[in-house]
Chains A and B, each alone.
Chain A
Amino acid sequence: MTPWTFFLTHRSEIFHATIDHLTLVVISMDIAIAIAVPLGMLIVQHPRLRTISLGLASIFQTIPSLALFGFLIPIPFIGGIGRRTAIVALVLYALLPILRNTYVGLSGVDPAILEAAEAMGMTNTQILLRVRFPLALSVILAGIRTATVITIGVATIAAAIGAGGLGTFIFRGVAMVNDSIILAGAIPAALLAIFADLLLGQLERRLKVV
């Protein structure tokens, strides 16, 4: 069976796996953004917290993804088999690029602009929300873009712990030594990553102010 005929005969299954995959990615990215962006804002003014949180996020990044899924299985509440565990692992993976870019973007604002803001009597919160954040937005988005592409890739491995998604085909294909089945998972995953990259890249350019 050629990849193309496999694709045609299983198109509904592949479509659903793609939707599952996207759902996994979107949920994980939402949670990662909700954690990393506020944390990034916080660590701009707290050097000690900065060292700890960036260090911790880096450590998660260095754990091989298959191992991370494995480590999580025995942990109560967040662990076990299935989608929840996968989301926890994907969130941990996505944290570092978002956190680092948020911090770099917020702290990289032109000092003259910050000086003017302070001299005009803006409070620290106003400076953060009305000056630093809008000026850092394109850098933060670049981090989100990197994290999204990583997450789409790593999410294929989530199938190993029963979270579904396009990885199901890849693992099945590997087990059956069938390239057509592997490609039925790998090609849609690659396309998803490319589209996400293009889309977020466009948004990033639009939000760039200087």
Chain B
Amino acid sequence: MNAKPLAPSDVAIEFRGVSYRINDIPARSIVSNVSLTVSRGETLVLLGRSGSGKTTLLKLINRMLAPSQGQVLIEGLATSEYDPIRLRRGIGYVIQEAGLFPHFTIAENVGLVPSLEKWDSAKITARVEELLRLVGLDPAEFSGRRPRELSGGQRQRVGVARALAADPPILLMDEPFGALDPVTRAELQREFSGLARRLSKTIVFVTHDIREALLIGQRIALLQAGRLVAQASPQDFLLLDHPEVHAFTASLAIANGVSQ
């Protein structure tokens, strides 16, 4: 944990001693005392096994969940100070299987937040076309279709376009490519990492796949049982001396061994 201290103005998201507990009996800690900053324009990957608290951390950012202890600050202001609806409209969110609305066309899905924000329809149409092109889908072909008429990869592209619709400064992604076949996943990972560099958004990306973390992240934060155990750039990450890092690098070595 030797990240350089950042000037406050560079920080987009900050976790300050954040814990999140579920009040079962006995109370279970999902996230324990996490302190972490994400600087503006950075792509941070939250890496961890299932149940390590990654998704919970993500939901604490857009106030889908509220911390039991500590604070999450967005642009220096605690999420509890924000109106949750306004906060969420300024944060793009992509989930596994995309969570597209099956009764909306692709254009309506992508244009949802702009329409909630009462943009005029010509502006929404133009924005939708721009975004579909950005994610590699031909607007003429896809705008009028429904999600069920698309492949998994195409749906995930629409999910990304939808999250970007109102040009939010922050993008949260929860294992967005997790449900795809390996070939499509690799394709989307490559494209997305290029896109992420061009967009200069603050991105928090959740995954349990170390390859994906290394490919997409500018920084990787490793979670284990709700605690932040390591963070480093992809170059340095593999060199870290921590048992959980070893566990992940071992999984990578096995994957490489099979492919060779």
Specify which chain A residues have a CB less than 8 angstroms from the CB of B64 in the assembled complex: 115, 118-119
Residues of A within 8 A of B85 (CB): 121-123
User: Measured between alpha carbons, how far is A116 from B85 in the docked complex, in Å?
Assistant: 13
User: A137's closest neighbor in chain B, by CB?
Assistant: B103
Alpha-carbon separation in the docked complex, A120 to B159 (Å): 11
Q: Give the Cβ gap from B108 to chain A, nearest Cβ, in Å.
A: 10
CB-based contact A121/B89 at 8 Å: yes
Interface range on chain A (Cβ under 8 Å from partner)? 10 to 19
Q: Is the pair B95, A116 in contact by a Cβ cutoff of 8 Å?
A: yes
> A209 CA to B112 CA in the complex, in Å?
18
Which of B86, B101, B116 is the one whose CB lies under 8 Å from A113? Answer: B101
> Whole-angstrom distance from the CB of B124 to the nearest CB of chain A?
14
Asked if B97 is at the interface (CB within 8 A of a chain A CB), the reply is: yes
Which chain A residues lie closer than 8 Å to B148 at the CB level?
210
Chain A positions within 8 Å of B113 at CB level? 120-121
Chain A residues in 8 Å Cβ range of B99: 110, 112-113, 115-116
A123–B64 Cα distance when bound, in Å, is 12
- Give 1 or 0 for each of A110-151: 1 = CB within 8 Å of chain B CB: 101101111111110010000100110000000000000000
Please, what's the 1-or-0 string for B78-91, where 1 marks a CB less than 8 Å from any CB in chain A? 00000011111101
Interface assignment of B248: CB less than 8 Å from any CB of chain A:
no
Q: Which residue of A lies closest to B163 (CB)?
A: A120
B101 touches A126 (CB 8 A): no
A63-B210 Cα distance, complex, nearest whole Å: 63
- List chain A residues, Cβ under 8 A from B101: 113, 116-117, 131
Contacts of B162 in A (CB 8 A): 120
A120 touches B116 (CB 8 A): yes
Neighbouring A residues of B103 by C-beta, 8 Å: 134-135, 209
A119, B102: Cβ atoms closer than 8 Å? no
Total residues of chain B contacting the partner, CB 8 A: 26
Whether B62 is near chain A, meaning CB under 8 Å from some CB there, is yes
Q: Judge if B93 is at the interface, Cβ distance under 8 Å.
A: yes
Minimum distance in angstroms from A72 CB to a CB of chain B: 41
Q: Are B116 and A116 in contact (CB under 8 A)?
A: no
B93 contacts A120, C-beta separation under 8 Å: yes
Residues of A within 8 A of B46 (CB): none
Which residues of the partner chain A approach B97 to less than 8 Å between Cβ atoms? 112
A116, A119, A121, A134: the one contacting B100 at CB < 8 Å is A116
C-alpha gap A120/B242 in the complex (Å): 37
Interface centre among A116, A119, A122, A134, by most chain B C-beta atoms within 10 angstroms, is A119
Chain B residues near A116: list those with CB within 8 A: 93, 95, 98-101
Query: In whole Å, how far is A180's beta carbon from the nearest beta carbon of chain B?
Result: 50
Q: Which residues of B contact A118 (CB under 8 A)?
A: 64, 88
Nearest neighbor of A126 in chain B, beta-carbon distance: B116
- CB-CB under 8 A from A131, the residues of chain B are 101
Expressed in whole angstroms, the Cα–Cα distance for A210 and B149 within the complex equals 11
CB nearest neighbor in A for B97: A112
- Given A119-B64, A210-B102, decide whether A112 and B95 contact each other with a Cβ distance below 8 A: yes
Q: How far is the CA of A194 from the CA of B142 in the complex (A)?
A: 41
| Sample (19) of A-B pairs whose CB atoms are under 8 Å apart | A112-B99, A113-B99, A113-B102, A115-B95, A116-B93, A116-B99, A116-B101, A118-B88, A119-B62, A119-B64, A119-B88, A119-B93, A119-B172, A120-B89, A121-B85, A121-B88, A121-B113, A121-B116, A209-B146
Q: 13 additional contacts, CB 8 Å, given A112-B95, A121-B116? A: A113-B100, A115-B99, A116-B95, A119-B64, A119-B91, A119-B95, A120-B89, A121-B84, A121-B85, A122-B112, A126-B116, A209-B146, A210-B148
